[in-house]
Amino acid sequence: MTQRNTWQRERVREALADAPGFVSAQTLHATLRDENTGIGLATVYRTLSGLAAAGAADSLQSPEGEALYRACATSGHHHHLICRSCGRAVEIEATEVEQWAKTVAATHGFTAAEHVVDIFGLCSDCSQVSERAGD
C-alpha cells in the first residue's frame, strides 16, 4: 500500500469505531461519503478485511450473507447478539456454549476446534417499534 492511503485507512478505522453496531462496507462507505472524504468503496473493503484479519475488528455474516464488521471492546473470544433491524450489538460470553462445543468436538475426535455463534434478533427498541406498527 502506498503512503498516500494511510490517512484513508485510519479514517475507515475511526468510522468503524464510531459505528454503534455491526456495519457492512457499503454502510460505512456511505457514512464516509457524507463527510466528503473521497474514500472509495474498494479501500473500505480492503481496510475492513485487513482489520478483521489482524484481529482488530470482528467480522461475521448477516443472515443475508453480507459481511459485517465491528470494532468490539472485548478482544478475547466472545459471541454477539445482533439486532437485524438497527445493527446494534451486544458482546456476550456463553460458558455453556464453550463447554458444549468442546464436548461435541471431542466426541467426534476433533481437536483444536473453533466455533462461531452469533444470535440475530430484534433489540428491545426495535421490538417496540414493530409492536406499535401493529404486527
What φ, ψ does residue 83 adopt, rounded to 5°? -80, 120
Contact segment (CB under 5 A) with Zn ion among 32-40, 43-51, 59-67, 124-132 equals: 124-132
Contacting Zn ion within 79-108 (CB under 5 A): 83, 85-86, 88, 98
Q: What is the CA radius of gyration of the chain?
A: 18
Contact segment (CB under 5 A) with Zn ion among 10-18, 47-55, 61-69, 125-133 equals: 125-133
> Cα 1 to chain center, whole Å?
24
Neighbours of 82 (CB within 10 A): 23
Taking the least distance from each CB to Zn ion, the nearer of 3 and 75 is 75
- How far is the C-alpha of 56 from the C-alpha of 48, rounded, in Å? 9
- Regarding 59 and contact with Zn ion (CB under 5 A), the answer is no
Which residue from 19, 56, 71, 72 is in contact with Zn ion, where contact means CB under 5 A?
72
C-alpha cell belonging to residue 4: 498516500
Nearest distance in Å: CB 77, Zn ion: 5
Q: Per-residue contact track with Zn ion, 39 to 58, x per CB under 5 A?
A: -------------------x
Nearest distance in Å: CB 99, Zn ion: 10
- How far is the C-alpha of 70 from the C-alpha of 124, rounded, in Å? 20
Least Cα distance to 46 among 70, 74, 73, 13 occurs for: 13
- Residues interacting with Zn ion, by CB under 5 A? 58, 72, 83, 85-86, 88, 98, 123, 126
